[in-house]
Amino acid sequence: MSTYRVAHLSDPHILDLTGVPTSRLVLNKRITGWVNLKLKRGSHHKPWVVEAMMDDLAKRRVDHVVVTGDLTNLALDPEFERARSVLERMGYGPDQVSVVPGNHDVYTRGAQRGQRFARHFAKYITSDLDVGGEGHPSGPFPFVRLRGPLAIIGLSTAVARLPIVASGWAGDAQLEALARILARDEVRSRLPVILAHHPITNPRGRVASALRGWSETDAMRKVLGGVHESLSLHGHLHHRVYEVIDLAGGARVHRLGATSASLLHDDPDAMSGYNLYEFAEGGGLSRASARVWSASTRAFEDAAVPALRA
């Protein structure tokens, strides 16, 4: 029996100000504020560890790679170009890589208006099915890619917000399209793997949820309640996590979060790494593990995906 293997990485947060005129940095207060903050605090996001990850993935030869958002920091064209060339370093074809945007990929209204993410990553967001609906302000989402035993569905929760707000919004059009997609024969015969930057479990507390969460998690759980089993893959938390969610009616969702690909951190669950999922021929998730950067061996090593702490 052959196994289908998916690698899941997230939040590389690539910063590149090449060719961005100083006048733009001065005029755009959001960008200036962010750069100042970053320089003062000292960043723990390192581009070289993302490149090492791409080389590890190039050797691993999985069947598909998914990236759940925040590929850039400021949603600038040079950052998208650099992020694309970093992904190309893995040596996988566009049919083997699927991406969705995060809040940082629409950091300014201009980035959202110009659908910069969708333009730069067009080859990684193609859809095998015509899903209808009006899409999302960030681009033509959702998309569906039928791959082996899986139906990989990409949603966008990325919308330009006021400073310090990082919450997600998919919109009714996408949620209705998702329900239609899940009812399609080509999808029903596969395991749905849903990509969205924001997790379907909100942080504790109303303020944290409002600032960083996703207001439509109940609506998402309702839609997923109609499917016997599904995966919900996300980033945004910069933390590796696995939670099995049992919904009313017997539906089960495997929520799996990947940490930030560029983050060097003392907490092993936050340290740079990617998740690896194995699927049986019939489509069930048979194994979830991770490859995590080791500061001592300076290489990625096998690790577990930690179950949610109560």
Give 103 or 112: the residue with its C-beta nearer to Fe ion.
103
Burial 162-182, CB ≥16 within 10 A → b, else e: eeeebbbbbbeebbebbeebb
Give 10 or 96: the residue with its C-beta nearer to Fe ion.
10
Give 205 or 282: the residue with its C-beta nearer to Fe ion.
205
- How far is Cα 190 from Cα 148, in angstroms, rounded to an integer? 8
Give 14 or 285: the residue with its C-beta nearer to Fe ion.
14
- How far is Cα 138 from Cα 144, in angstroms, rounded to an integer? 17
Q: For the segment 39-98, give every residue that binds Fe ion (CB under 5 A).
A: 70
Two structure tokens written together for 269: 């669950």
DSSP state of 52: H
Give the nearest distance from C-beta 213 to Fe ion in angstroms: 11
Give the nearest distance from C-beta 260 to Fe ion in angstroms: 6
Closest-approach residue to Fe ion (CB): 70
Give the nearest distance from C-beta 63 to Fe ion in angstroms: 26
Q: Which stretch binds Fe ion (CB under 5 A): 139-147, 200-208, 228-236, 272-280?
A: 228-236
Give the nearest distance from C-beta 197 to Fe ion in angstroms: 6
Give the nearest distance from C-beta 30 to Fe ion in angstroms: 15
Count the site residues for Fe ion by CB under 5 A: 5
Integer Rg of the chain from CA: 18
- How far is Cα 294 from Cα 274, in angstroms, rounded to an integer? 13
Give 96 or 272: the residue with its C-beta nearer to Fe ion.
272
Q: For the segment 100-119, give every residue that binds Fe ion (CB under 5 A).
A: 102-103
Look at strands 285-294 and 273-279 and give their pairing: antiparallel
Crossing angle of the two packed helices 77-88 and 47-60, in degrees rounded to 10: 30
Phi, psi angles (nearest 5°) of residue 10: -155, 165
Give the nearest distance from C-beta 283 to Fe ion in angstroms: 29
Give 56 or 105: the residue with its C-beta nearer to Fe ion.
105
Residue 202 binds Fe ion, judged by CB under 5 A: no
- Based on the number of CB atoms within 10 Å of its own CB, is 223 exposed (0-12), middle (13-18) or buried (19 or more)? middle
Name the residue type at position 148.
G
Q: Which stretch binds Fe ion (CB under 5 A): 10-18, 153-161, 182-190, 199-207?
A: 10-18
Give 146 or 211: the residue with its C-beta nearer to Fe ion.
211
> Contact letters (x/-) for Fe ion, 234-263, by CB under 5 A?
--x---------------------------
Name the one residue in this structure whose structure tokens are 């949610």.
308
- How far is Cα 138 from Cα 103, in angstroms, rounded to an integer? 10
**Binding residue (CB under 5 A) for Fe ion from 4, 6, 7, 11:** 11
- How far is Cα 57 from Cα 90, in angstroms, rounded to an integer? 6
Using CB under 5 A, list all residues that contact Fe ion.
Answer: 11, 70, 102-103, 236
